[in-house]
A = this chain, B = another copy of it.
């Protein structure tokens, strides 16, 4: 891996994905087709793009039952345990409505209401990720969303992968549709004969899915549009090089465009990790992908001390941050930007991908400066609540009308004043 000394002139690139024109045009035409022709368009795109001839989009209960025959009991157990832990964590994120009352008859509050209906996109392709289903659907369920519709591209045999079906069934998802790509996003946003429109679409996908989500944003809400995944390991001389290398590679195997970074004040660790990465790379099934990632974006930053290491981490604003230093908890307060923070030598990042409980949908590409992990908050909205007595309105009328007139809004002032006089004046 490339080793680089950090100094004041070191800059940290933040790539932000931008739409590609050719794909953009394709996505626009797909959305238009789905809006115009509904289910017919979905069947046609599924035939043309996924190579499957369907007569029905919705998954039948019998398909769910059949899927269980292809999944080992220990895998089902692991899925159930993961669901349990993820649900437990997200339940702690629930926010309550609140209301304050004052003696003068003013009541103010905030009402929390779940979204009515949400669509979750589950990618297909080489790796259909059951964890992605859990991470998107559990926060919506915990928030109290009434209707959840799941969409996923169908295989050539007309089926969804067994792992996807079993996971969805374990979660209690009632609506699963065999449709993917931009056409699935368009169907969720605008509705078709079979698929009722939703209020928000979440879940990862390829460039077509990302562009389609961006295109329908405003008609519906969307979650963040994630870029390639990244990890930064902040380590000192106490870290075990082979462990650090394994963690870097666990991110690198995701994607040629993934980023794995080590920040350390130990030159020795830097050298050792670099060697270990090379050593471990050669035995990985996904060596080609991981090697492209390490050679393309992988980097080891050597700093003069822990303080400079932390400053470097804050400039990177990583999606995943491991802290493998003495007393990691002491450094936690100094970390200003990170999607998820893994503390200490045993908290390897993959723990967070499937199992521990926190969400694995995290801000990428430096957006941890202003974005948060997917959470229950993403599936509720808030309404302000105000209630004034006549006495309260009387007491505050002068100030309110003064400010209204300062802004040149006479009708605002009159809406207050009309209430101050004789109530027979209508």
Contacts and interface: CB of A to CB of B under 8 A. Distances in A.
Interface in A77-126: 77-79, 81-82, 89, 92-93, 95, 98, 100, 106-108, 110-111, 113, 115-116, 126
Nearest to A404: B350
A253 B408 CA distance: 10
A96 B335 CA distance: 16
Contact of A356 (B108, B339, B353): B108
Interface in A350-403: 350-359, 362-363, 367-373, 375, 377, 381-390, 392-393, 396, 398-400, 402-403
A19 to B, nearest CB: 10
How many copies of the polypeptide does the oligomer hold? Answer: 2
A386 B352 contact: yes
A386 B343 contact: yes
Contacts of A351: 386, 388, 393, 396, 400, 416
A284 interface: yes
Contact of A355 (B219, B400, B410): B400
A104 to B, nearest CB: 12
Contacts of A352: 384, 386
A171 B375 CA distance: 32
A135 B352 CA distance: 37
Contact of A353 (B332, B342, B372, B404): B404
B131 A392 contact: no
Interface stretch (A42-50, A61-69, A176-184, A239-247): A239-247
A298 interface: no
A354 B423 CA distance: 25
A81 to B, nearest CB: 5
B411 A343 contact: no
Contacts of A404: 350, 353-354
A347 to B, nearest CB: 4
Given A412-B350, A419-B346, A388 B242 contact: no
The size class of the interface chain A forms with chain B is 35 or more
A411 B243 CA distance: 11
- Which of A95, A113, A341, A399 is packed against the most chain B CB atoms within 10 Å? A399
Contact of A413 (B131, B199, B350, B393): B350
Contacts of A247: 415
A241 B290 contact: no
Interface string A182-221: 0000000000000000011000000000000000001111
A38 interface: no
A296 interface: no
B242 A415 contact: no
A130 B337 contact: no
A100 to B, nearest CB: 7
- Which of A77, A335, A351, A392 is packed against the most chain B CB atoms within 10 Å? A351
A26 interface: no
A411 B252 contact: yes
Given A250-B409, A340-B386, A381-B371, A418 B284 contact: no
Interface of A: 16-17, 74-75, 77-79, 81-82, 89, 92-93, 95, 98, 100, 106-108, 110-111, 113, 115-116, 126-127, 129-131, 163, 199-200, 218-221, 240-243, 246-247, 249-250, 252-254, 272, 276, 280, 284-286, 290, 328-329, 332, 335-359, 362-363, 367-373, 375, 377, 381-390, 392-393, 396, 398-400, 402-404, 406-416, 418-419, 423, 425-426
Given A130-B407, A346-B393, A375-B382, 6 more contacts: A16-B219, A75-B402, A75-B403, A78-B402, A347-B388, A348-B415
27 contacts: A74-B402, A78-B403, A92-B98, A93-B110, A110-B358, A116-B369, A127-B408, A218-B367, A221-B367, A249-B414, A250-B411, A252-B411, A253-B411, A290-B411, A338-B383, A339-B384, A340-B383, A341-B386, A343-B387, A346-B419, A347-B386, A347-B393, A348-B415, A348-B416, A350-B415, A351-B393, A356-B386
